[in-house]
């Protein structure tokens, strides 16, 4: 089973996120998730 493309995974996950503490909090959490996701690809 292959990995989902990053944008598809974000499209699946982000609608389930109801709130962040702030825009900065959202940026930090999304970046941390992106780094973790990217590390699983290689």
Domain borders along the chain are: 6-39
Each residue's pLDDT tens digit, 1-42: 457 787 777 777 776 666 678 889 989 988 998 998 888 876
d(CA 5, CA 32): 17
Residue 18 token pair: 């109801």
Residue 1's pLDDT is 47
- Are 9 and 38 within 8 A, CB to CB? no
What is the pLDDT at residue 32?
A: 93
| Residue 20 and residue 29 in contact, taking contact as beta carbons nearer than 8 Å | yes
Q: The whole model's pTM is what?
A: 0.50
pLDDT for res 28:
93
In angstroms, rounded to a whole number, what is the distance separating the alpha carbons of residues 21 and 19?
Answer: 7
């Amino acid at each position: 089973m292959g990995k989902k493309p990053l944008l598809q995974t974000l499209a699946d996950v982000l609608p389930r996120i109801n709130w962040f503490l702030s825009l900065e909090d959202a940026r930090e959490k999304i970046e941390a998730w992106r780094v973790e996701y990217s590390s699983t690809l290689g």
